[in-house]
Structure 1
């Protein structure tokens, strides 16, 4: 079994799923895909923003009363990420491939490293929208993955949806 870890920024579109599968169509062994969807941590994001503004002492205690709102927001974020992962896995399965998926609240690169180690991943494919500034400074997921992993890492740009193309 050849294990490929997919780090996706958003749900795999049908064209992207086909493109990923085509990368491995000449593999002599069966390919198993592991779809990883990073999931934003709402509470940590709010607290980091407040701290970055240097106003934690002004707003920090008020955050305690908003924990319920943050918990509800996190449930919604997690639900969307799980749906994204599930639909992405299903697209790969619809193409006759073995696939599984999940979400992570860790930093995307930390989650990717952990997933590659846990699955004994032999290749990584990262699908994102263009991130010109991060890519220019080599701070993007792909460059980070190449620095930390000893497996091939391929970066693909996600296809635009048909709605965007029609505009």
Structure 2
């Protein structure tokens, strides 16, 4: 049997992020399939885990008019507060280099889990894309890699419980991004 997990990221996963996600399933009995969902930060609409806090579950329920688009493109725009993966190593931002985010994040996660990682990209509503990916892969869990302040807000707002029910998954985990 297989166990499917969607991993939602807003920016490039660091080595520490990949290690923490892999550790969640290191002792799992079934083969774990990872489905990495990357938000491309569109200039309009919702994007990334931070935006999930302010959006409604109408998006998850499929009432949004903006379907996810799963294609690879490179977006350009002004660089903003780039977090550091480690001393001197900047993490890529999808607005600047979507290809680097996908390449580095999937490579790091593959190295930690010793297997395949499927990648999906959304240019639309992140909640709708998340719901679509969970349904199409029959995923049992969702892991959101979020910045420390975002992770705290997810936990305080009880978002994970609501998301678990709306997405119809056994568990939604929030992993604090390694900064």
Aligned pair 1:146/2:164, yes or no? yes
Q: CA separation in 2, counterparts of 1:139 and 1:27?
A: 26
Please give the residue correspondences for 1:90-105 in structure 2 after superposition, counting only pairs within 5 Å: 90-95=107-112, 96-105=114-123
Q: TM-score, normalised by structure 1?
A: 0.67
Task: Kindly indicate whether the alpha-carbon contact (under 8 Å) linking 1:82 and 1:102 is maintained by their aligned counterparts in 2.
Answer: no
Q: TM-score, normalised by structure 2?
A: 0.63
Which 5+ residue runs of structure 1 have no aligned equivalent? 46-73, 161-167
Equivalent position SS for 1:11: coil
Counterpart in 2 of 1:27?
A: 28
Supply the RMSD in Å over aligned alpha carbons.
Answer: 2.5
Across the two proteins, how many residue pairs are aligned to each other? 130
Query: For residues 136 and 20 of structure 1, do their structure 2 counterparts lie closer, same or farther at Cα, with a shift above 3 Å needed?
Result: closer
Equivalent position SS for 1:116: helix
Aligned pair 1:118/2:136, yes or no? yes
User: Whose helix proportion is higher, 1 or 2?
Assistant: 1
Task: Kindly indicate whether the alpha-carbon contact (under 8 Å) linking 1:7 and 1:127 is maintained by their aligned counterparts in 2.
Answer: yes
1:87 maps to which of 96, 104, 110: 104
Q: CA separation in 1, counterparts of 2:151 and 2:110?
A: 32
Q: CA separation in 2, counterparts of 1:86 and 1:144?
A: 31
Kindly provide the CA deviation profile for residues 117-165 of structure 1, in whole angstroms up to 9, marking residues without a partner as x.
111111110111122795477396x4652342111100111011xxxxx
Please give the residue correspondences for 1:60-71 in structure 2 after superposition, counting only pairs within 5 Å: none
Counterpart in 2 of 1:58?
A: none
